[in-house]
Amino acid sequence: MESPLSGTSLRGAIAGRRSIRRYRADEVPANILQLLLQAAVTAPSAHNRQPWRFMLLQDCSTKLALADAMGRRLRQHRTTDGDDPAAIEKDVARSRARIADAPVVLVVCLTMEEMDVYADATRARAEFLMAVQGTAMAVQNLMLAAHSEGLGSCWMCAPLFCPDVVRATLDLPQLWEPQALVTIGFPAGPGVTRPRKPLCDVVRRHERKRFVHLSDPEHKPARHHDGDSVISDHG
């Protein structure tokens, strides 16, 4: 039995992953794809319903058909918005290349088939969002696994703007709702390191009916045995 991923290597995989948009032409081995998909389906999900569904695209003609169909919808939307025609065509060409030139394109979908059904809109929306959350966690697993295998990947949200186009082009099952594309391949170059907001901008700790900013000089966090400050759990 394989030993669990060490904390150090896990932190390294999380910190080192980058969005990769250009790939070498090398084929991704089938056994590696199997590992990535297995990593995806081990993600947690609400009620353990596992709402994720995946369509794997490797055939050039299929990838081109999808890229062209999505490009037509993109062009239509941006033309309706009144955008500059030259900018539109540049955007369409860029999107087409990202899909068509990737060795592997994974179409990420979700299904509500096994999720709970509610008569009221509020709980029905909550149930749908739970399926979205589970599917997103599956994709994060897959992308981290890809990075650990020396592969690059990139999340593309475009199917949310044209789910009908994606479903029709690929003849997806009617209950599969397209959520994203993930391109996968061996990187043609390093990804770009983009800045992340510091924790003090995005984290608050609720204490005695007030929110404490992590940079508050009066805030005295608990400490691990190694001296690293953390968010304390007292109060």
In tens, the pLDDT along 216-228 reads 655 555 444 444 4
* Structural domains of the chain in order of their starting residue, each with its CATH number: 8-185 (3.40.109.10), 195-235 (no CATH)
pTM of the model as a whole:
0.84
Q: In angstroms, how far is CA 82 from the centroid of its own chain? A: 30
- d(CA 219, CA 65) in angstroms, rounded, equals 56
- d(CA 152, CA 103) in angstroms, rounded, equals 11
| Residue 52 main-chain phi, psi, to 5 deg | -70, 145
- d(CA 21, CA 13) in angstroms, rounded, equals 18
In tens, the pLDDT along 16-58 reads 899 899 999 999 999 999 999 999 999 999 999 999 999 999 9
Let me know: does 137 contact 153? Beta carbons within 8 Å.
Answer: no
Q: What integer pLDDT is reported at residue 230 of this predicted model?
A: 41
- d(CA 20, CA 79) in angstroms, rounded, equals 28
